[in-house]
């Protein structure tokens, strides 16, 4: 079983159709891995890599640019059976941040490595240098910068989000359950357009952007500053662990986020009984 998402926000019809095809491809390839090897980690990583590689999503190639016109990508992966996790924040010159997050989970004793440290680890692990900036992401950056300007940034950013919600689409996420009920969650993003240099969103924060325990897995999208403040993904997974259905858990958590921080957010979640 696998579910994926391509980010909160408003997709126009044309882009939605393209994105849908790639999401389906990601699901199909991940399912193939589950059928063959029953390996939920590789299935989750593969689904997210496919989405990272398509510039229509705000992750990997095509990630949005920060205020200085640079890409700083965040990603994370977590398995619910033993609560192991790996994450990377503010990484620049690699193609697939989700694969680096997996390496951090499997080959280090740490969970989250950021910026230069992440860059250095990527080299050590043999990741090739790669420029994820596309002409389209550069164009979006220039337009956003013209519209928002650099003064009074936060007020303008909020107005901008309300006016142009489709600037914020495209973070990707996946949750996989294998035949033994092992759950793996993952996510990858370029973050929010024109973010301050060094800003880290919810995506690499275990509990906020993703979570998995022995009964439920979740992966969030939306404005990270809201998701972090309610620890959205862990919130959902523990509501399910303590008896709520996935549907009720998601609804309760999103209602709470809306009431308390009122910033846009969405989340996908499934439980190991495949009911969600």
Binding residues for ligand ASP, rule: CB under 6 A, are 7-8, 58, 168, 171, 189, 191-192, 201-203, 221-224
CB of 212 to ligand ASP, least distance (A): 17
Q: How far is CA 15 from the centre of its chain?
A: 19
Residues 4, 23: contact at Cβ < 8 Å?
yes
Backbone angle region of 60, left / alpha / beta, with phi > 0 → left and psi within -120 to 50 → alpha: left
Structure tokens at 131: 């420029």
Contact 47, 38 (CB under 8 A): no
Question: Among residues 8 and 234, whose Cβ is nearest to ligand ASP?
Answer: 8
> What's the start-to-end Cα distance of the chain, in Å?
11
Instruction: Pick between residue 58 and residue 231 the one whose CB is nearest to ligand ASP.
Output: 58
Q: Catalytic annotation on 171?
A: yes
> Cβ of residue 186: shortest distance to ligand ASP, in angstroms?
13
Query: Shortest Cβ distance from residue 244 to ligand ASP (Å)?
Result: 23
Minimum distance from residue 35 beta carbon to ligand ASP (Å): 30
How many helices (H) and strands (E) the chain has is answered by 9, 9
The residue (of 26 and 182) whose beta carbon lies closer to ligand ASP is: 26
Catalytic residue among 61, 171, 192, 221: 171
Do 184 and 80 touch, CB atoms closer than 8 A?
yes
Q: H or E stretch including 2?
A: strand 2-5
Closer residue to ligand ASP in complex, CB, 46/192:
192
Q: Which residues, in sequence order, are bridge partners of residue 206?
A: 210
Neighbours of 18 (CB within 10 A): 12
- Structural contact between residues 44 and 182, judged by C-beta atoms closer than 8 angstroms: no
99 vs 203, beta carbon nearer ligand ASP = 203
Task: State the minimum distance, in angstroms, from the CB of residue 184 to ligand ASP.
Answer: 19
- Give φ, ψ of 165 to 5 degrees: -60, -20
Q: Coil, strand or helix: which one is 78? A: strand
Instruction: Tell me which residues are annotated as active site.
Output: 171
């Amino acid at each position: 079983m696998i579910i994926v998402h391509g980010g909160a926000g408003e997709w126009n019809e044309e882009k939605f159709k393209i994105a849908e095809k790639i999401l389906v491809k990601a699901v199909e390839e991940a399912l193939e891995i589950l059928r063959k090897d029953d390996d939920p980690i590789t299935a989750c990583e593969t689904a997210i890599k496919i989405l990272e590689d398509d510039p229509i999503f705000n992750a990997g190639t095509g990630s949005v640019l920060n205020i200085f016109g640079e890409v700083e990508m965040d990603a994370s992966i977590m398995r619910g059976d033993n609560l192991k996790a790996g994450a990377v924040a503010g990484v620049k010159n690699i193609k697939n941040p989700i694969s680096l997050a997996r390496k951090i989970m499997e080959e280090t004793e740490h969970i989250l490595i950021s910026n230069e440290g992440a860059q250095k680890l990527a080299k050590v692990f043999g990741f090739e240098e790669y420029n994820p900036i596309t002409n389209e992401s550069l164009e979006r950056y220039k337009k956003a910068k013209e519209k928002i300007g650099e003064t009074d940034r936060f007020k303008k950013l909020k107005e901008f989000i309300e006016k142009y919600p489709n600037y914020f689409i495209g973070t990707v996420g996946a949750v996989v359950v294998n035949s033994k009920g092992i759950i793996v969650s993952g996510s990858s993003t370029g973050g929010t357009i024109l973010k301050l240099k060094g800003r880290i969103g919810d995506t690499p924060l275990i509990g906020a952007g993703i979570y998995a325990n022995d009964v439920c897995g979740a992966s969030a999208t939306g404005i990270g500053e809201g998701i972090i403040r309610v620890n959205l993904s862990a919130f959902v997974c523990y509501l399910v662990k303590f008896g709520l259905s996935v549907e009720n858990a998601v609804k309760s958590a999103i209602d709470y986020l809306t009431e308390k921080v009122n910033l846009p957010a969405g989340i996908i979640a499934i439980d190991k009984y495949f009911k969600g």
